[in-house]
Structure 1
């Protein structure tokens, strides 16, 4: 899919928004939720997801909780207090970006 590159710069915002809406999630759950929400349009690979999760954790935006599920350990990610604040900032940035892109692509019908 050609749009994958367009989504790449939005991955952290996507993750933060999902965690804001779902309290805590594990990696595979995040990928499946995105796939479902986008009707298969966006498929996040493990190679993209886990580095983004680790970066968000290192930046103090996510906490990790490990739980045993069956015979496996599962890492659940959830927003920290700073993560909640940063989610609001990232979503505001995204909305402004989308308004700007809409204006550039279709100036006759710009959103205000």
Structure 2
């Protein structure tokens, strides 16, 4: 998809869903998984990813675990209990949004 702006409002939901599925991940791993899952259609930049991760952490939705990997420290992000609940809420919201958009762009087609 050429228009990355359409994904911008979904970044937190994407991150939460990946962490729900993969338990804990580090930033670069998240960007690569999104790229893989979207066959390169969506490339999340560090400039978008890290502010989103920091906001989710500040909101109490993520815990951060620091581990030494080789000579480097790596931050792993993991859902908190609140984060798990918020992931379910965000996914429900996303489903409703997609259903609404589908009705708008193709009224003859229904996801139900």
Q: TM-score range by the shorter chain?
A: over 0.9
- Measured after TM superposition, the shift of residue 48 of structure 1 is 0.1
Moved segments of 4+, more than 4 Å = none
- Measured after TM superposition, the shift of residue 97 of structure 1 is 0.2
* Deviations 1:35-56, CA, capped at 9 Å, x for gaps: 0000000000000000000000
TM-score by length of 1: 0.98
Q: Which blocks of at least 5 consecutive residues in structure 1 are unaligned?
A: none
2:81 aligns with 81
TM-score by length of 2: 0.98
Q: Aligned pairs, how many?
A: 112
* Deviations 1:39-77, CA, capped at 9 Å, x for gaps: 000000000000000000000000000000000000000
Write the distance in 2 (CA, Å) between the matches of 1:110 and 1:92: 17
1:72 aligns with 72
Write the distance in 1 (CA, Å) between the matches of 2:111 and 2:65: 41
Q: Which blocks of at least 5 consecutive residues in structure 2 are unaligned?
A: none
- Measured after TM superposition, the shift of residue 108 of structure 1 is 1.0
Write the distance in 1 (CA, Å) between the matches of 2:73 and 2:2: 35
- When the two chains are superposed, the root-mean-square deviation of aligned CA atoms in Å is 0.8
* Deviations 1:2-58, CA, capped at 9 Å, x for gaps: 320000000000000000000000000000000000000000000000000000000
